[in-house]
Structure 1
Amino acid sequence: MSSNVSTNRESKAKITKKKLFKSALKLFKEKGIENVHIEEITDLAGVSKGSFYTHFKSKHDVVLEHYQLIDEVYEEKYKELEEANLSLTEKLQTILLSGFYFCDDMDFDFLSAVLINQLSSPNDETFINNPNRKLYKIVKSIIEEGMGSLEFKNEENEEFYVGVVLVFYKGLFLEYSLLKDPTILLSKFGEKSMNKIIEEVLIKKD
C-alpha cells in the first residue's frame, strides 16, 4: 500500500469521525443522550452504522471525548494568566472556575454520562483521575510555587494539597450531576465552595 493511499484513508477516517462527533453532540443537546439512537447519529452524519463503532465504543465515549477538551481549557487559561497581576490563589481559583464554565454548556446530562463512562471503565486509571492530566500538572505547579513563596501552607507536602483540592473539585462535579436541575449552572453551584476550600486548605494565615 502506497503512502498516499494510506494518508488518504486516514484523512477520510478523521473526517468521518468528526462528522459522527458533531452529529452526536447536536442530537444529545436536542434530545438528551439516552433518547438518541446510534442510527440517528449515523443518519445525520451520512455514514453507515458500522462506521460509528469503528470510532466510538458507545454514546458515552462520544461525550467523554468532548469532556476531554476541558484540559485544553485549563491549559489555555493557565498560559493566559502567566503574566497576570494576580496572586497564586486567584490564579488557581480562576483556572478551576474555567472548567466549570466549560461544563456550563454541557449540563448535568453530559456530566452524568462522563461519570457513567468513568465508573464503568475496566481500566484502573481513568481520564478523570489520571495524574498525567494537564489539570493535575497545572494545579501541582501552582501549589508548589505558592508553597515556595509562602503564600500557601507547607505543613504537608505538595501532593497532599493537590489531592485535597482536586478531590473536592471533582466532588463538586459529582454533586452537581446528582442535582439533575437544568436551571442551575455548574459555575454558580460550585464557585463559592471551591474558592472557600482553596482558602481554607492552602492559604497561609498570619
Structure 2
Amino acid sequence: MMNRKEKANQTKKLIFEVAVTLFNRFGYDNVTISNICEEAGVAKGTFYLYYDSKETIIKESYYQDLDSYLNAVFQETIENSKADYASKITTFLVAELHFATDMGIEITTLAYSFNLREALSKKNSHFQKRTFSALLSKLIEDAKTGDVDKPFIFTALESLVRGLMATWCFSEGNFDLITGGRSAIQDLVQLYIRN
C-alpha cells in the first residue's frame, strides 16, 4: 500500500503525463486545465495542489522528467560501462536529444520560451534545476582532456546540446535532431576528450 507521499507523487506524475499527452495531441493553447483534470480524473483543486498553471507544468516538470530520464540512462547504460569516456559522454548528451524528441517539439519549444522569459525577470533557476549536469561534469572530470579547462568543456558541450535543441525548435522539426545532433556531439567530444 502506498503512503501519502508516494500517492501524491503518483498523482502529480499522472497530471503531468495527461497534460503532455493532451498538449501533443491538441496543442498547448487548445488544452484547458479543466481538460487536464477531466482526463486525469482529478478535481481542479487537486491540480492546483501541484501546479499553479499549465505553464508551471512545462517549466517544472520538463526539468524533473529530464533529470529522471538522464539519471536512468546514466545508471543503466553508462555508469558501469566499459566504453571509453568519449562514448559515454556522447551517449549521455544524445540522450538529452532523445528526451526532447520524446517530449515533442511544442513542449520543448514552450519549455525554452517559458524558462528564457523567467531568466529575463531574474528569477531563473535553470542551473539548479538541471541536477543531471553533475553526472556530465563527473564524466568530463574523469576523462582525459589534455590542456583544455574542464569547466570550459562542460559549457561547450552543454551549449552545443541546447543549441541543437533550439535549432530543432526554430526549424519546426525540419532538422533531424538525433542524427544531426549525434554527429555534431561526436565531433565536439572527440575534439576535447582523449581516450
Q: TM-score, normalised by structure 1?
A: 0.78
Q: Distance in 2 between matches of 1:85 and 1:11?
A: 35
For residue 70 of structure 1, what is the aligned residue in structure 2? 66
Q: Distance in 1 between matches of 2:18 and 2:166?
A: 26
Alignment pair present for 1:142 and 2:139: yes
**Distance verdict in 2 for CA 1:174–1:191, change over 3 Å:** same
Q: Could you give the per-residue CA deviations for residues 125-184 of structure 1, whole angstroms, max 9, x where no partner exists? A: 433x33x7333211211111113xxxx2223x3212111111122111111111112x65
CA contact (8 A) 2:67 2:132 kept: yes
Alignment of 1:159-198 (within 5 A): 159-181=151-173, 185-198=176-189
Unaligned runs of 5+ in 1: 1-6
Amino acid at match of 2:41: G
User: How many pairs were matched up?
Assistant: 189
User: What is the distance in 1 between the residues matched to 2:136 and 2:19?
Assistant: 32
- Which ranges of structure 2 fall in alignment gaps of 5 or more residues? none
**Residues 41 and 185 of structure 1, relative CA distance in 2, 3 Å threshold:** farther
Superposed CA RMSD in Å reads 2.6
Name whichever structure is richer in helix by fraction.
Answer: 2
1:52-67 equivalences under 5 Å are 52-64=47-59, 65-67=61-63
Match of 2:130 among 128, 133, 140: 133
Q: Quickly say closer, same or farther: Cα 1:191–1:62, change in 2 above 3 A.
A: same
- Find the partner of 1:22 among 5, 12, 17: 17
- 2:143 counterpart SS class: helix
| Contact 1:75–1:134 (8 Å) recurs in 2 | no
Shift of 1:12: 6.3
Aligned to 1:3: none
Residue 34 of structure 2 corresponds to residue 39 of structure 1: yes
Of the two structures, which has the highest relative contact order with CA contacts closer than 8 Å and spacing of 6 or more? 2
Moved over 6 A (4+): none
Go from structure 1 to structure 2 and tell me whether the alpha carbon gap of 1:58 and 1:145 turns closer, same or farther (over 3 Å shift).
same
Q: Which amino acid aligns with 1:166?
A: E
Which structure has the bigger radius of gyration?
1
For the 8 Å contact 1:23–1:44, the answer to whether it is kept is: yes
Could you tell me how far apart the structure 2 residues matched to 1:18 and 1:92 are?
A: 29
Percent identity between matched residues is: 23
What TM-score do you get using the length of structure 2 for normalisation? 0.82
Q: Distance in 2 between matches of 1:16 and 1:37?
A: 18
The CA deviation at 1:17 is 3.0
Amino acid at match of 1:102: F
**Which moved further from structure 2: 138-147 or 117-126?**
117-126
One-letter amino acid of the structure 2 residue matched with residue 30 of structure 1: R
- 2:117 counterpart residue number: 120
DSSP 3-state at the match of 1:89? helix
Q: 1:99 deviation in Å?
A: 1.7
CA shift, 1:123, in A, is 5.0
